[in-house]
Structure 1
Amino acid sequence: MPKFYLRGFADGDTLLTVPLPGERRYKQSVNSAAVETDFYALPGHDGGDDVLERALAEVEAPTAAIIAQIASGVWPLPSADRQALAFFIALQSTRTQTQRRTVDSLEAQLARLQIGVGGRELFTQQLQRADPQVTNDTVDRMWAEAIRPEGPPLRVSSIEFADQMLSSATQILPYILGRPWTLVRFDRRSLVTSDHPVSLVTPADASPWEGVGYATAAGIIMPLTRELGLVMGDPMVFAEHISVDRVAAGELDMTLPLGSTQMERFFNEHTVGFASKWLFLHPKDGRFLPEDLPEPNPTRMEMGSQAREFNGEPWGRASAGGRDDSVPARSIIRTHVRLEMP
């Protein structure tokens, strides 16, 4: 999480951090909150290991200035500033620890599915081809890891995550820009934020089994500071009357100068609902947290194969009697998964 962003919810440099499900609370510096060492490091990159971190800093610096301008009363935003803020919001959807865990989880579950299709004998054969000295104990251990509900212990490489992060942010950007924006200013109420600060509003007519994405959400919301909330509304309301280009240019953007209690709860309940592990807020704002906080939600997406039976028999055509590299057991070593965010 960018330090400048967290300062918008801090008392100086001090935040109140609430790990879900909220059984404890403690103060910490914005320099320590939501930090993972070398999270963006790209070892061996021609531009240096910190090339991605420096690129993100080039996005953060102008965004900090834009949010400061909004706080001083500037709204609607000039088109260039609106686009810059939209890209920052898109990145805050894809650059988080939550997103990294989600990508890793989907990769592991896909590998589990592929291994199950091939069956244990094919899995063993392919491990033996990769390493003729592999022992039966190693095969047993790797098979046990592969068929766990969460899949084998895989993690995408740093460069793969960087590529996924940037491409997904670019992919969802039109769904952020093409919505009418409403800025809500709070005076007596305050907003909280989280380790996944961008939230999606489910359409009122959505069925319980339906998911919601950036293209289908009734709204996208993000607290900009404890006193400023941004609602990116439903573009379909105006679809027959105004072009998406005009919406993206900010012609329909507006402001609510005095956020109500109902609006504060709307923001904070969505922010809490989309949090992964941590909430961050001003040390004096604990009363604005919802009474019931959810359990941690480490990932935002999963595959539906966890319940499939793994008895060692192949699910498909692949078997020990014939090589079938369309379902390679070596995917336990590497599988690439790209999230389709919209």
Structure 2
Amino acid sequence: MGKNPGKQKLKRRHHTVPRLLLRRFADGERLVRVPLGGGEPRTVGVGDVTVRRDFYSMRTEDGQLDDTVENLLSELEDQAARVIRKIIKDGLWPLPVDDRAILGQWIAAQHVRIPAVRRANNEIFDQFTKIMIAAGGKPEMRRLLEEHSGEPVADEEVDAMWQEMTDFASYEAELSVNDQMLMMGRSMETAYNAMMNRSWGLCRFERKALLLSDHPVTLMRDPRQPEWRGVGLANAAAILVPIDRRAAIIMEPPGVADHKLPASAKVARELNHRFAWNSRVELFHHPDDNPLAGIELPPVKSTEAEFSQTAEDFVRPEGLAETT
């Protein structure tokens, strides 16, 4: 794709935070990037941040790159841009049903398209794969080797492969991008349904400004829930989404009609604190703003999933038979 006459050029540089949102926090095409981990803030171009090569590109059966997903995300971004303009420029709120649905789809996409979700999927897949190897032991290793080769394998070959595959720290198992995109599609539908069922509040600021996280959708924990339960779309006290440097949507539990929320310096500070701590690597703001005043930045977050047990806990060289 992208090389044949009549075909559009393949899109290779993919924004994990859409340009539409980045521009809402920019002075034209420039905004301030604040790296986590102690780096200095710098003014950068919208086109140069949150870019990953082929991040949403699937592979066709013949091995060619396919940027269909990136194109679909771009089309949704164009539709959402028109809705956000109505909110910010025209003061439209609450939204008509059709516009609400478009913005709901776009926000759902922001929740599932981020690198953190892909990392979490890979971490879970990696752990599950290694547990299966550990629990299956050498008998399962032999079965797989013989299935692949079509003939019996020597004990020495099984031992060598077992030694290699149980050195769990030396490798990581990852899902294919195709599998990640299929999971993203299913997760987006789930997120959309959960968000559309909530009550949406719009909070607009006259003077105070918001920052933008590299992971724009923030889930607010319900303090009544125990820490071990975690926070997700179903049990979040609120879902916080900045749509402009001076506006955020706050999705609350269902029960009341969409409404406007009071804005204040205290509210802006609370939102910015939560947005900052939802960042993984970097955050952004308008060159004229200082939304991080008084806010301590979080460290870089390099992992997403936590496990009470690891693959090492399941190692059974003789397979599950040794425990029966």
* The two structures share one fold, judged by TM-score above 0.5: yes
Alpha-carbon deviation of 1:173? 1.4
Q: In the alignment, which of 274, 279, 282 is matched to residue 286 of structure 2?
A: 282
Q: The residue matched to 2:34 in structure 1 has which SS?
A: strand
Are the equivalent residues in 1 in contact too, given 2:80–2:106 (CA < 8 A)?
A: yes
Say how many residue pairs are matched: 301
Distance in 1, matches of 2:322 and 2:186, equals 34
Query: Percent of aligned pairs with the same residue?
Result: 31
Q: Is 2:112 the counterpart of 1:108?
A: no
Change (3 A) 1:125 1:300: same
Deviation string 1:187-210 (CA, Å, 9 cap, x unpaired) is 221111112110111112111222
Q: In structure 2, do the counterparts of structure 1 residues 113 and 139 end up closer, same or farther at CA, with 3 Å as the change threshold?
A: closer
In 2, Cα distance between the equivalents of 1:184 and 1:226? 11
Equivalent residue number for residue 201 of structure 1:
220
Pick aligned residue for 1:158 from 177, 185, 197: 177
SS in structure 2 at match of 1:36? strand
Give the counterpart letter for 1:82 in structure 2.
R
Q: SS at 1:317's partner residue?
A: helix
Aligned pairs for 1:36-51 within 5 A: 36-44=52-60, 49-51=66-68
Provide the rounded CA distance (Å) in 2 between the counterparts of 1:84 and 1:45.
32
Q: How has the CA–CA distance of structure 1 residues 289 and 197 changed in structure 2, closer, same or farther, with 3 Å as cutoff?
A: farther
Using the alignment, how far apart are the partners of 2:161 and 2:317 within structure 1? 19
Range moving further from structure 2, 287-296 or 121-130: 121-130
CA distance in 2, matches of 1:271, 1:205: 21
Contact 1:17 1:28 in 2 (8 A): yes
Q: Which amino acid aligns with 1:3?
A: R
Note the residue ranges of structure 1 that are not aligned, 5 or more in a row: 239-246, 320-342
How large is the Cα RMSD of the aligned pairs? 2.7
CA contact (8 A) 2:241 2:249 kept: yes
One-letter code of the match for 2:252? G
TM-score (normalizing by structure 1)? 0.79
- AA partner of residue 33 (structure 2): T
- On the 8 A contact 1:119/1:318 being kept in 2, the answer is no
| Partner AA of 2:123 in structure 1 | S
Length-normalised TM-score, structure 2: 0.84
1:63 corresponding residue in structure 2:
80
Q: Which of the pair has the greater relative contact order for Cα pairs under 8 Å at 6+ separation?
A: 1
Question: For each residue in 1:201-241, what CA deviation from the matched residue of structure 2 results, as whole angstroms up to 9, or x when unmatched?
Answer: 11121112221110111111111111111100122xx3xxx
Question: Which of the residues 42, 60, 84 maps onto 1:26?
Answer: 42
Say if 2:93 is the partner of 1:75.
Answer: yes
| Higher strand fraction (1 or 2) | 2
Kept after mapping to 2: 8 A contact 1:116/1:314: no
Q: Any gaps of 5 or more consecutive residues in structure 2? A: 1-16
TM-superposed deviation, 1:78: 0.7
